[in-house]
Amino acid sequence: MPLSLAQMRRNYTLDGLQEEGAPDDPWRLFGQWLQQARDTEQAPVEANSMLLATVDREGRPHCRVLLLKGYSEAGLTFFGHYQSAKGQELAANPHAAMTFFWPALERQVRVEGQVSRLDPDLSDGYFDSRSRASQLGAWASPQSHPLANRAQLDGWLAQTTRRFDGQPVPRPEQWGGYCLQPQRMEFWQGRADRLHDRLDYRLHEGVWARNRLAP
Ligand SMILES: Cc1cc2nc3c(=O)[nH]c(=O)nc-3n(C[C@H](O)[C@H](O)[C@H](O)COP(=O)(O)O)c2cc1C
Protein backbone atom coordinates (compact mmCIF):
# COMPACT_ATOMS: atom_id res chain seq x y z
CA MET A 1 0.00 0.00 0.00
CA PRO A 2 1.71 3.27 -1.05
CA LEU A 3 1.93 5.95 1.61
CA SER A 4 -0.81 8.52 1.08
CA LEU A 5 0.74 11.99 1.23
CA ALA A 6 -1.82 14.09 -0.63
CA GLN A 7 -3.98 14.59 2.47
CA MET A 8 -1.07 15.15 4.87
CA ARG A 9 -1.02 18.79 5.90
CA ARG A 10 -0.89 21.02 8.96
CA ASN A 11 -2.49 24.41 9.32
CA TYR A 12 -0.04 27.02 10.64
CA THR A 13 -1.53 29.40 13.20
CA LEU A 14 1.17 30.18 15.78
CA ASP A 15 2.26 33.64 14.73
CA GLY A 16 2.34 36.31 12.02
CA LEU A 17 5.09 38.46 10.55
CA GLN A 18 4.08 42.08 9.96
CA GLU A 19 6.18 44.89 8.53
CA GLU A 20 5.50 47.05 11.63
CA GLY A 21 6.95 44.45 13.99
CA ALA A 22 9.91 43.43 11.83
CA PRO A 23 13.27 45.24 12.19
CA ASP A 24 14.67 47.07 9.14
CA ASP A 25 17.89 45.13 9.68
CA PRO A 26 17.48 41.43 8.78
CA TRP A 27 20.37 40.48 11.10
CA ARG A 28 18.30 41.59 14.10
CA LEU A 29 15.36 39.51 12.96
CA PHE A 30 17.64 36.54 12.26
CA GLY A 31 19.11 36.81 15.76
CA GLN A 32 15.66 37.00 17.36
CA TRP A 33 14.35 34.02 15.41
CA LEU A 34 17.45 31.91 16.02
CA GLN A 35 17.26 32.58 19.75
CA GLN A 36 13.55 31.74 19.83
CA ALA A 37 14.26 28.55 17.86
CA ARG A 38 16.99 27.61 20.33
CA ASP A 39 14.56 28.14 23.21
CA THR A 40 11.63 26.38 21.55
CA GLU A 41 12.80 23.56 19.30
CA GLN A 42 12.92 20.24 21.10
CA ALA A 43 15.52 17.53 20.55
CA PRO A 44 16.22 16.01 18.09
CA VAL A 45 15.82 19.25 16.08
CA GLU A 46 18.97 21.38 16.38
CA ALA A 47 18.06 25.05 16.02
CA ASN A 48 21.40 25.76 14.31
CA SER A 49 21.01 23.05 11.68
CA MET A 50 20.37 24.20 8.13
CA LEU A 51 20.50 23.03 4.55
CA LEU A 52 23.35 24.33 2.43
CA ALA A 53 22.89 24.23 -1.33
CA THR A 54 25.86 24.58 -3.67
CA VAL A 55 26.22 24.20 -7.43
CA ASP A 56 28.83 22.15 -9.24
CA ARG A 57 30.76 23.02 -12.41
CA GLU A 58 27.99 21.57 -14.58
CA GLY A 59 25.37 23.77 -12.87
CA ARG A 60 23.85 20.88 -10.92
CA PRO A 61 22.71 21.71 -7.37
CA HIS A 62 23.66 19.67 -4.28
CA CYS A 63 22.18 20.11 -0.85
CA ARG A 64 23.11 18.80 2.62
CA VAL A 65 22.49 19.50 6.31
CA LEU A 66 25.21 21.39 8.21
CA LEU A 67 25.44 23.16 11.54
CA LEU A 68 25.71 26.93 11.69
CA LYS A 69 28.60 27.79 14.02
CA GLY A 70 28.33 31.55 14.20
CA TYR A 71 26.95 34.68 12.59
CA SER A 72 27.58 38.39 12.55
CA GLU A 73 27.14 41.13 9.98
CA ALA A 74 30.19 39.62 8.26
CA GLY A 75 28.17 36.50 7.48
CA LEU A 76 27.16 33.02 8.57
CA THR A 77 29.87 30.48 9.37
CA PHE A 78 30.07 26.73 9.04
CA PHE A 79 32.87 24.16 8.97
CA GLY A 80 33.89 21.14 6.95
CA HIS A 81 36.58 19.71 4.71
CA TYR A 82 37.87 21.93 1.93
CA GLN A 83 38.32 18.87 -0.33
CA SER A 84 34.78 17.58 0.28
CA ALA A 85 32.20 17.73 -2.49
CA LYS A 86 30.82 20.99 -1.05
CA GLY A 87 34.36 22.37 -0.76
CA GLN A 88 35.07 21.63 -4.42
CA GLU A 89 31.73 23.06 -5.49
CA LEU A 90 32.34 26.26 -3.51
CA ALA A 91 35.82 26.57 -5.01
CA ALA A 92 34.27 26.39 -8.49
CA ASN A 93 31.25 28.57 -7.73
CA PRO A 94 31.02 30.63 -4.52
CA HIS A 95 27.27 31.24 -4.82
CA ALA A 96 25.32 29.25 -2.24
CA ALA A 97 21.99 29.16 -0.42
CA MET A 98 21.07 28.17 3.14
CA THR A 99 17.68 27.21 4.52
CA PHE A 100 16.76 27.02 8.19
CA PHE A 101 13.52 25.24 9.13
CA TRP A 102 12.14 25.70 12.64
CA PRO A 103 9.03 23.51 12.72
CA ALA A 104 8.03 24.25 16.33
CA LEU A 105 7.78 27.93 15.37
CA GLU A 106 6.36 27.30 11.88
CA ARG A 107 9.24 29.35 10.46
CA GLN A 108 11.72 29.17 7.63
CA VAL A 109 14.65 31.48 6.84
CA ARG A 110 16.35 31.44 3.45
CA VAL A 111 19.74 33.07 2.96
CA GLU A 112 21.60 33.51 -0.33
CA GLY A 113 25.01 34.95 -1.08
CA GLN A 114 28.64 34.27 -1.74
CA VAL A 115 30.87 32.04 0.33
CA SER A 116 34.54 32.50 1.14
CA ARG A 117 36.95 30.62 3.37
CA LEU A 118 37.28 31.87 6.93
CA ASP A 119 40.49 33.40 8.09
CA PRO A 120 42.81 30.50 9.18
CA ASP A 121 43.11 31.95 12.71
CA LEU A 122 39.34 31.73 13.15
CA SER A 123 39.33 28.15 11.85
CA ASP A 124 42.14 27.30 14.28
CA GLY A 125 40.17 28.81 17.16
CA TYR A 126 37.08 26.78 16.38
CA PHE A 127 39.07 23.58 15.75
CA ASP A 128 40.78 23.96 19.13
CA SER A 129 37.38 24.20 20.83
CA ARG A 130 36.27 20.81 19.46
CA SER A 131 36.60 17.55 21.34
CA ARG A 132 39.79 15.57 20.76
CA ALA A 133 37.71 12.79 19.19
CA SER A 134 36.26 15.23 16.62
CA GLN A 135 39.72 16.65 15.96
CA LEU A 136 41.11 13.18 15.27
CA GLY A 137 38.08 12.43 13.07
CA ALA A 138 38.81 15.49 10.93
CA TRP A 139 42.28 14.03 10.18
CA ALA A 140 41.09 10.47 9.70
CA SER A 141 38.17 11.09 7.35
CA PRO A 142 38.76 12.41 3.81
CA GLN A 143 35.22 13.79 3.68
CA SER A 144 33.15 12.84 0.60
CA HIS A 145 35.80 10.49 -0.83
CA PRO A 146 34.88 6.82 -1.45
CA LEU A 147 35.82 4.28 1.22
CA ALA A 148 36.38 0.56 0.64
CA ASN A 149 34.50 -0.23 3.87
CA ARG A 150 34.02 0.96 7.46
CA ALA A 151 37.17 -0.87 8.57
CA GLN A 152 39.26 1.41 6.35
CA LEU A 153 38.02 4.48 8.21
CA ASP A 154 38.50 2.78 11.59
CA GLY A 155 42.08 1.93 10.54
CA TRP A 156 42.84 5.54 9.58
CA LEU A 157 41.42 6.72 12.90
CA ALA A 158 43.65 4.28 14.79
CA GLN A 159 46.69 5.49 12.80
CA THR A 160 45.81 9.13 13.46
CA THR A 161 45.29 8.44 17.17
CA ARG A 162 48.78 6.88 17.38
CA ARG A 163 50.32 9.72 15.37
CA PHE A 164 49.10 12.40 17.79
CA ASP A 165 49.50 10.36 20.97
CA GLY A 166 50.45 12.65 23.86
CA GLN A 167 50.33 15.80 21.70
CA PRO A 168 47.70 18.40 20.86
CA VAL A 169 45.94 17.80 17.52
CA PRO A 170 46.52 20.69 15.11
CA ARG A 171 43.90 21.70 12.54
CA PRO A 172 44.40 19.88 9.24
CA GLU A 173 45.09 22.42 6.50
CA GLN A 174 42.25 20.91 4.47
CA TRP A 175 39.64 21.37 7.17
CA GLY A 176 38.22 24.74 8.12
CA GLY A 177 35.50 27.31 8.06
CA TYR A 178 33.48 29.15 5.50
CA CYS A 179 31.52 32.38 5.69
CA LEU A 180 28.41 33.06 3.62
CA GLN A 181 27.85 36.79 3.10
CA PRO A 182 24.16 37.27 2.42
CA GLN A 183 22.73 39.31 -0.43
CA ARG A 184 19.25 38.10 0.40
CA MET A 185 17.51 36.95 3.60
CA GLU A 186 13.88 35.83 3.49
CA PHE A 187 11.79 35.25 6.61
CA TRP A 188 8.74 33.00 6.30
CA GLN A 189 6.12 32.63 8.97
CA GLY A 190 3.46 29.98 8.40
CA ARG A 191 -0.12 31.30 8.49
CA ALA A 192 -3.55 29.74 8.28
CA ASP A 193 -4.84 28.32 5.01
CA ARG A 194 -1.47 28.61 3.24
CA LEU A 195 -1.59 32.45 3.25
CA HIS A 196 1.84 32.68 4.85
CA ASP A 197 3.85 35.83 5.59
CA ARG A 198 7.10 36.31 3.67
CA LEU A 199 9.44 39.27 4.21
CA ASP A 200 12.28 39.39 1.74
CA TYR A 201 15.37 41.53 2.48
CA ARG A 202 17.83 42.32 -0.31
CA LEU A 203 21.13 44.15 -0.03
CA HIS A 204 21.66 46.95 -2.57
CA GLU A 205 24.85 49.00 -2.30
CA GLY A 206 25.17 48.29 1.41
CA VAL A 207 21.53 49.03 2.26
CA TRP A 208 18.86 46.42 3.00
CA ALA A 209 15.55 46.88 1.19
CA ARG A 210 12.53 44.89 2.26
CA ASN A 211 9.54 43.57 0.31
CA ARG A 212 6.62 41.35 1.10
CA LEU A 213 6.29 38.37 -1.19
CA ALA A 214 3.14 36.44 -2.03
CA PRO A 215 3.04 33.06 -0.36
C1 LIG B 1 22.44 17.32 11.76
C2 LIG B 1 23.63 17.26 10.83
C3 LIG B 1 24.68 18.14 11.02
C4 LIG B 1 25.78 18.12 10.17
N5 LIG B 1 26.78 19.05 10.35
C6 LIG B 1 27.81 19.09 9.49
C7 LIG B 1 28.79 20.12 9.58
O8 LIG B 1 28.69 21.05 10.38
N9 LIG B 1 29.84 20.07 8.70
C10 LIG B 1 29.95 19.11 7.75
O11 LIG B 1 30.93 19.13 6.99
N12 LIG B 1 29.03 18.14 7.62
C13 LIG B 1 27.97 18.10 8.45
N14 LIG B 1 27.00 17.13 8.31
C15 LIG B 1 27.16 16.13 7.24
C16 LIG B 1 26.74 16.73 5.91
O17 LIG B 1 25.32 16.68 5.78
C18 LIG B 1 27.38 16.00 4.70
O19 LIG B 1 27.16 14.62 4.78
C20 LIG B 1 28.89 16.27 4.63
O21 LIG B 1 29.20 17.62 4.87
C22 LIG B 1 29.42 15.89 3.24
O23 LIG B 1 28.76 16.64 2.26
P24 LIG B 1 29.38 16.88 0.82
O25 LIG B 1 29.80 15.50 0.34
O26 LIG B 1 28.26 17.44 0.00
O27 LIG B 1 30.54 17.80 0.97
C28 LIG B 1 25.86 17.16 9.12
C29 LIG B 1 24.79 16.29 8.93
C30 LIG B 1 23.69 16.34 9.76
C31 LIG B 1 22.51 15.42 9.48
Q: Ligand 1 pocket test: which of 41, 50, 52, 64 has the largest number of ligand atoms within 8 Å of its C-beta?
A: 64
Q: Ligand 1 pocket test: which of 46, 56, 67, 145 has the largest number of ligand atoms within 8 Å of its C-beta?
A: 67
Tell which atom from ligand 1 comes closest to the C-alpha of 144. 25
- The pTM is what? 0.95
Mean pLDDT score across all residues of the chain: 96
Q: What is the 3-state secondary structure (H, E, C) of the chain?
A: CCCCCCCCCCCCCCCCCCHHHCCCCHHHHHHHHHHHHHHHCCCCCCCCEEEEEEECCCCCEEEEEEECCEEECCEEEEEEECCCHHHHHHHHCCEEEEEEEEHHHCEEEEEEEEEEECCHHHHHHHHHHCCHHHHHHHHHCCCCCCCCCHHHHHHHHHHHHHHCCCCCCCCCCCEEEEEEEEEEEEEEECCHHHCCEEEEEEEECCEEEEEECCC
- Provide CATH code, domain 19-130+173-212: 2.30.110.10
pLDDT in tens, 130-171: 999 999 999 999 999 999 999 999 999 999 999 999 999 999
Tell which atom from ligand 1 comes closest to the C-alpha of 64. 17
Domains in the chain: boundaries: 19-130+173-212
pLDDT in tens, 84-94: 999 999 999 99
Q: Whose CA is nearest to atom 4 of ligand 1?
A: 66
- % of the chain exceeding 70 in pLDDT: 100
